[in-house]
Amino acid sequence: MAKDSRLILDPLTDNNPITIQVLGICSALAITAELEASIVMSISVLFVMGVGNVVISLMRNIIPSKIRIIAQLIVVATLVIIVDLVLKAFAYELSKTLSVFVGLIITNCIIMGRFEAFALGNGPYRSFLDGIGNALGYGIILIIVGFFRELLGSGTLLGIPVLGDPIEKTGLYALGYENNGFMLLSPMALIVVGIIIWVQRTRNKALIED
Amino acid sequence: MGLKQNLHNFKEKNKDKKWLPGFNALFTFLYMPNETTHNGTHIKAADDLKRTMNTVIMALVPCLIFGMFNAGYQHYLAQGLIDSADGFLGASFWTWDNFVIGLWKVLPLVVVSYGVGLAVEFVFAIIKGHEVEEGYLVTGMLVPLIVPVDIPLWMLAVAVVFGVIIGKEVFGGTGMNILNPALTIRAFLFFAYPTWMSGDKVWVHGAVERDQAIANGANLDAISGETLLGYYAKSGQELTVAGTDTVTTYGARAEELYSYADMFWGIIPGSVGETSKFLIIIGALFLIFTKIGSWRIMLSTVIGALVMGLIFNGVVDAGWIGETSKFYGLMSVPFWQHLIIGSILFGAVYMATDPVTASQTNKGKWIYGFLIGFISIMIRVFNPAYPEGVFLAILLMNVFAPTIDHYVVQANVKKRMKRLKAKVA
């Protein structure tokens, strides 16, 4: 089953939804200022995409093609509401940070894109792998961006100070280091994603389109 | 055999080496290259890019030297060590002490700016296998002039790396960049380390350190040196005059702070090289005379700023805005004063005229410059968080410059089409 493993591995590297297909950029910009938010967002999307792809795949023969977008939206919306309620119940503070962006998973282009491009034409098992693969590809970029933005912007990781205390001037701060406030602003997320794209295409020249 | 021949032989011998572009970059400082272009149309002229850049640097040198004196002067003045402030030509300004402090603080900025920036340029030239481009020569000189004197050197280095790579190299290097690299560097510093780039402590050498010492219990007088813009931005808030019980509002004491002459000659706190309007005007005349800088952009930027200033004065005169408004302080500044407070002149002369990022068409240059002046003053008045909006305005118009050119060219095409049709009919 070499082909099935590609369904998971391809989106992680050479067919990454964010860096190659350039989908789902909005949430990558909005919520990656903290690593924790990035991770939770990735898990939420992983759940929605994995389950959603299976559901759509199971229903693919009974959905009339004229109203398929509506059907897909209902499936995503249902799953997103489940995620939202779970977050509110078990991680209330975090759900406030993520606020509308969990709701906006509904409009994440990656999800609708995979429904349209894959789940409508493939069986549930392969659709599941495809959904997981793309969500992981999305998540890995979010986590890389979130890692650098939180580390350089706030000097913390997952809320734990790793570079010392900026007010007490310990650790790196004793040497005159300061947090980079620009990292916390959205433009920097775009630039970090751009740098990832740059590195990726330098390593694999086949990805350069022109 | 002279030095030139020796260097040339050295170059021929090492033709295939990867580091040769690095050697060539230094070689062409001294001598004109003796190769000619082999293909395509080319203009024969003595001033190549390196000569052009050097002309701009010459225009900047007076600002830099003045900036060194001023850094020391502000430092001693704030500490109360200068008793009689006797103006630009006065004996208390051009002193050896002032210069030594200034040199000690400003020279490292220049060295870091050039060292880091050229290192990035060399690395990219070697990776991409082309000659080192001269674009950084002017940028490297501009950067130390547009930052506060006490900026930590590592911050400057980080910003230069960012500015040169993201502002220029990713677009394809010199001549291809959309944004002015020097202003990209400043914008990065401004948003990344706002505490070092704005406020009333950063403009005078030693003010921040002294503040920290006082916080730790040292028995010193706090020193500060606000720029006039920072001062106006706080207008409407209450202010206790030091040493007295007088409580007044910020805007009311502007005249006591700095005289117009001080502002014109430049002996006020500010970024290193942008304070002296006199030397900037000299530099502008030099650039116009050598035909390096576009007088259209300089003039239209000034006009734009004056028009916006007049509009704000009109709003104040019409009584649409009360004295309690936080915009009142800057809106009521006489329109011509906007030219001598802040760095709009420096931006107009050295930044907006960057031939790569400005509009190319003559009509486009008028529009481009006018909007820079217009928007600068608008940001200055409406956003107290960014009291100096010139760099934001120029970056914004950099982005729009190609669009302006496009419509200017299209309008011309349309006009000529009409004429042609009229002739045929």
- B318-343: per-residue pLDDT in tens? 877 766 666 777 777 778 888 887 78
Report phi then psi at A198, rounded to 5: -60, -50
Q: Is residue A114 part of a domain?
A: yes
Helices and strands counted in chain B (H then E): 18, 2
Residue A209 lies in a domain: no
Flag whether pLDDT at B248 surpasses 60: no
Give percent above pLDDT 70 in chain B. Answer: 76
Residue B305 or A19, more confident = B305
Note whether B170 contacts A182, CB cutoff 8 Å: no
Start-to-end C-alpha separation, chain A: 33
Q: DSSP for B61-91?
A: HHHHHHHHHHHHHHHHHHTT-------TTST
Measured between alpha carbons, how far is A176 from B105 in angstroms, rounded to an integer? 17
Amino acid A183: pLDDT: 84
Could you list the residue range(s) of the whole structural domain that residue A133 is in? 2-197
Domain count, chain A: 1
Residues contacting A193, CB < 8 A, separation 6+: A18, A19, A25, A28, A29, A141, A145
Q: Do A180 and B196 touch (CB under 8 A)?
A: no
Q: Kindly determine whether residue B154 and residue A176, on different chains, have CB atoms separated by under 8 Å.
A: yes
Is the pLDDT assigned to residue B243 strictly greater than 50?
Answer: no
Q: Is A208 among the domain residues?
A: no
Cα dihedral: B183, B187, B189, B191 (round 10): 180
Mean pLDDT of A147-154: 87
All residues of chain A having their beta carbon less than 8 Å from the beta carbon of residue B158 are 180
pLDDT value at B409 more than 90: yes
Residue B406 has pLDDT above 90, yes or no: yes
Distance from C-alpha of A122 to C-alpha of A141, rounded to nearest angstrom: 26
Instruction: Identify the pLDDT of residue B232.
Output: 64
Q: Which residue has the higher pLDDT, A62 or B231?
A: A62
Lowest mean pLDDT among B92-96, B242-246, B361-365, B418-422: B242-246
Q: How far is B359 from chain A (nearest CA, A)?
A: 25
pLDDT of residue B223: 57
Is B274 a residue whose pLDDT tops 80? yes
Interface of A with B in 142-181 (CB under 8 A): 176-178, 180-181
What's the pLDDT at B36?
62
B225: confidence class by pLDDT, cuts 50, 70, 90: low
Q: Inter-chain contact B193–A180, Cβ cutoff 8 Å?
A: yes
Interface of chain B toward chain A, CB-CB under 8 angstroms: 152, 154-155, 158, 166, 170, 188, 191-196
Choice among A111-115, A120-124, B48-52, B181-185 with the minimum mean pLDDT: B48-52
* pLDDT attached to residue B317: 81
Mean pLDDT of B358-380: 89
Whether A98 is in a domain gets the answer: yes
Quick check: B109 and B271 in contact, CB under 8 A? no
Residue A138, in any domain of the structure: yes
DSSP-derived letter for residue A160 is: E
A207 inside domain: no
Kindly state whether residue A210 falls inside one of the protein's structural domains. no
Is the residue at A118 inside a domain?
A: yes
Kindly tell me if the per-residue pLDDT of B222 is higher than 60.
no
Q: What is the 3-state secondary structure (H, E, C) of B191-251?
A: HHCHHHHCCCCCCCCCHHHHHHHHHCCCCCCCCCCCCHHHHHHCCCCEEECCCCCCEEEHH
For residue A210, the tally of other CB atoms under 10 A from its CB is 2
| A191 neighbourhood in chain B, CB within 8 Å | 166
State the Cα–Cα distance between residues A55 and A79, nearest whole angstrom. Answer: 10
The string of pLDDT tens digits covering residues A88-137 is 888 888 888 776 777 778 877 888 888 888 888 888 888 888 888 888 88
* This prediction's pTM: 0.83
For the complex shown, is ipTM > 0.85?
Answer: no
Cα torsion through B90, B95, B101, B104, rounded to 10: 120
pLDDT above 60 (res A43): yes
Confidence class of residue B241 from pLDDT cuts 50, 70 and 90? very low
Choose the mutation target among B128, B193, B208 for the interface with A, i.e. most A CBs under 10 Å.
B193
Mean pLDDT for the stretch of residues B242-260: 55
Closest Cα partner for A200 from A39, A5, A17, A78? A17
pLDDT given for residue B31 in this prediction: 67
Q: What pLDDT does B366 receive? A: 92
Q: Do A178 and B191 touch (CB under 8 A)?
A: no
* % of chain B at pLDDT higher than 90: 13
> Which residues have a Cβ under 8 Å from the Cβ of B127 and sit 6 or more positions away?
none
Mean pLDDT (chain B, rounded): 79
pLDDT above 70: residue B233? no
B159-165 mean pLDDT? 91
Neighboring chain B residues of A198 at a CB cutoff of 8 Å: 170
B chain contacts of residue A180, beta-carbon cutoff 8 Å: 158, 192-193
Of A176, A181, A191, Cβ closest to residue B166: A191
- B188: nearest CB among A176, A182, A194: A182
Q: Within 13 A of B189's CA, how many CA atoms are on the CB side?
A: 29
Contact between chains at B191 and A191 (C-beta distance less than 8 A): no
